[in-house]
Amino acid sequence: MPEKIAFVTGGNRGLGFQTALELKDVAKVVIGSRELEQGKEAVKKLRAAGVDAEVLQFDVTQPASHEAAFDYFSSRYGRLDILVNNAGVAGGTFPGKGAEHNAGDVPMELLRKVFETNFFAQVALTEALLPLIRKSAAGRIVNLSSILGSLGLHADPKSPIYNAKSFAYDASKTALNAFTIHLAYDLRDTKIKVNSAHPGWVKTDMGGSQAPMELSEGAKTAVALATLTDDGPTGGFFHLGKPLPW
């Protein structure tokens, strides 16, 4: 059996795929993919690159997928060592207003949709898989957040994100950061480490082609947090090894 077992949600493309690729010398990697065929194609590429990879058809917003993931890891491996909560959605748009930016008129339907994927589903999946992570000798939970979830930077007129406000997305990542802090506290007497990762502005479908960072650099933070040694941090928010303000 491989030394470690990792689950990367949304691992069929973008940052999730790159994270799976970068874990090739660390773990057997199972990627979660909503579309099974896309996941199979991703696995072919991962295996060609030397990754011991498998795919699990998985929709992070569906409780049945959480149960199926638990059954999969429980029956095959009896544990889970690394969980990378990578799947997520952008803030979206709405008619007549373009990109969603305003807290004062954000449609509740959009707010609930973004929170369902970026927050509620992440919490539910982590809770579902936590019994298996507890069976790991050194469990690692990585929540893919964003610098846009930082309240400290959003409140600072001198910060680089002061004018980059997209309420639904930003607030969902702030809530995810709160989950990181609270879960790390709950697990403080275990060897499990829980951290939030800001990958940076990366060239992905969400980040766009104008983003300054390549995928290989964008995956570094999540991979580093997924492979922390026993003396590594927990309950933190990081980008490329540096802490970010909450």
> What single string gives the DSSP state of each residue in 114-168?
HHIIIIIHHHHHHHHHHHHHTTSSS-EEEEE--GGG-HHHHT-TTSTTTT---HH
Q: What is the DSSP string of 175-220?
A: HHHHHHHHHHHHTTTSS-EEEEE---SBSSTTT-TT-SB-HHHHTH
CA 26 to mean position of chain CA atoms: 18
Average pLDDT over residues 7-32: 95
DSSP 230: T
The CATH number of the domain holding residue 186 is 3.40.50.720
The domain of 49 spans: 5-243
User: How many domains does the chain divide into?
Assistant: 1
Please give the Cα distance from 164 to 67 (Å, whole number): 37
- Average pLDDT score over the chain: 92
Could you tell me the pLDDT band of residue 101, with boundaries at 50, 70 and 90?
A: confident
Crossing angle (nearest 10°) for helices 121-133 and 167-186: 20
Q: How far is residue 6's CA from residue 21's CA, in Å, rounded to a whole number?
A: 12
Element of type H or E holding 128: helix 121-133
Least confident residue range of 33-37, 113-117, 136-140, 198-202: 198-202
- 3-state DSSP assignment of residue 238: strand
Q: What is the mean pLDDT of residues 228-242?
A: 96
Structure confidence at residue 200 (pLDDT):
76
Phi (first) and psi of residue 228, to 5 degrees: -60, 145
Whole-number Å distance between alpha carbons of 48 and 126: 30
In a 3-state reduction of DSSP, which class is residue 15? helix
Q: Extract the tokens encoding 74.
A: 């429980």
Q: Which residues are tagged catalytic?
A: 169
Q: Residue 241's Cα: distance from chain center in Å?
A: 17
Looking only at Cα atoms, what is the longest distance across the chain?
A: 54
Q: Is pLDDT at 74 greater than 90 in this prediction? A: yes
Q: Which two three-digit tokens encode residue 198?
A: 């800001």
Confidence at residue 218, expressed as pLDDT on a 0 to 100 scale? 82
Provide the pLDDT for residue 37.
Answer: 96
Residue 195: predicted pLDDT: 98
